[in-house]
Every structure is written in structure tokens, then in C-alpha cells.
Chain A
Amino acid sequence: MSASLAPECNEVKERYDSCFLKWYSEKYLRGKGTTDECADLFKDYKQCLTSVLKKRGIDKMLEEAREDHKENDALNMRRK
């Protein structure tokens, strides 16, 4: 798996990524993946990451980009 931009988050990220990949390939793609089994691990990872994003001022840039991406949701969140 790839590294985190914050080295201190690498360990929790690795745990979350492995959990997600297993869920994605074994359950989600087989139509059995409606619930997120990796939510707890994601919470740990996210907590670590959020403080780093704030410290480096990346959170503000993300807010703006998210606004821009709203139109993509309208395009891609519905089934064709």
C-alpha cells in the first residue's frame, strides 16, 4: 500500500487499507458489501490525518475543491 502524507499515520492507514481492500474484493464486488466493516479502523486513521491536514493548511484548500466537485456527484451518483 501507499504511504500517508503524514508518517505518524502510516500504521493506522496500513491497517485500514488492508481491511478495505479485503472488503472491496471479497464482499463489495460480489454484491455483499452494503455495510462498512472497516469503519472503526477508518475513524482511527481519519483522526490522525485530520489534525495533520489542519496543521499544514490543506483542509482549507480541500473545502474549495469539494465545492468544485459537487457537479461530479450529480453526474456520477446515479445509475445509468
Chain B
Amino acid sequence: MKVFSNEETFNYSWEEVSTANWRKYCPWNDKSTHVIAVDTLSRHVDPATGILRTERLITCKQSAPKWLASLMGGTDISQVFETSYVDPESKKVTMVSQNLTFANIINVRETVVYQPLSATKTQFKQDAQITALCGGWQKVKSAVEDATVSRFRENAIKGKEGFEAVLEMSRRVFSEEKMKQREQQEKMAL
């Protein structure tokens, strides 16, 4: 098993980050282009705790190294199942995900947590456990795990850049909407 961990700080409030997180993979993010679709499978608010629970299916298209691609049957489409929990009271978003595709070859479990550091700063924490399951040589397993870890590292850098772009656009659109509303209210008052 290999582990990939990463931490980032975003200079936006937790409310802004947790909202923009729902559209992290929209066209404003021109970095994380390996994510081609995000579908919501179920969603509900727990009446006892107020926690919002969501299930999503994330579809990725990313070419693997040639030797790995042949092991994976030549397809470059893969899918990830994610369950997320938003606790608005303690201001915490937790997202747990695992791979659906290639589940017989490799097991990838990732946990992402967003929590506020201050009123204007939010921390992103990412942990992934990668375990190759393919029988046989330890060398092959190790190589499969290493290739997955380096893919995680590449995607993490792109993910941060792409999400920054989404946050910036979200803030701009929000302030424009507010301005429009104010103009309209002023017009009505006249």
C-alpha cells in the first residue's frame, strides 16, 4: 500500500469554498480536464443532525502509461464513487471516494476535508490510500501503486490551480449578481 497526502490553503471563506466545491469541475476549471462528468446519485439532509449527505459518480478520462493501459484492458475511462457529508454547524465538508473501475486491479480510497482556518481562509486536506491487488510479483504491484501516486500528485497540482479559477469566478459572478440586484432595487425605489 502507498499513501498520498496533501494540504492546501485557499484564501476564501469556508462558505465560498464549500459552495464552489460543487462546481469544481465546471468549464471555469480548465486544468482538471480529466474529469469529464459529475453526476449526483442521491442527496438528503439528515433531520436529526442537519448534515447534507450526497452520493456522486465521477467519470474521468485519462490515458495511463502504455504498460499500465494494457493491464487495464485498454480503456481510458474510469469511474469514482464519492459520498460526501456537509456539517454546516461545525463547518466541515468530508468527501470519501473510491474507484469503481479496475476494482479488481487496484483499490484507491481518498478522503478530502475542507475546514475553516479563519473567516477568510479554508484548509483542504487530502489523503489517499492506494493498494494494488493484482496477484503476482511484488514488483508489478509496486509499479502500479507508484504510477497511481504520481498521477495523484499531477492531478493535485492541476486541481488546486483549477479550483482557484472556479473560486475567483464564483466570487466575481456573485458580486455582479449582488450589484444587479441593488441596481434593480434602486430603480424600483425611484
Contacts and interface: CB of A to CB of B under 8 A. Distances in A.
Interface residues of B, number: 42
Contacts of B36: 3, 5
Contact of A2 (B26, B52, B83): B26
B22 A58 contact: no
Q: Sort chain A's interface into a size bin.
A: 35 or more
A80 to B, nearest CB: 6
A58 B25 CA distance: 21
A35 to B, nearest CB: 8
A24 B100 contact: no
B157 interface: no
Contacts of A65: 81, 98, 100
Given A33-B45, A58-B57, A69-B96, A24 B89 contact: no
Interface in B86-133: 86-90, 94, 96, 98, 100-101, 103
A77 B59 CA distance: 26
Contacts of A9: 39
Contacts of B83: 69, 72-73
Contacts of B35: 2
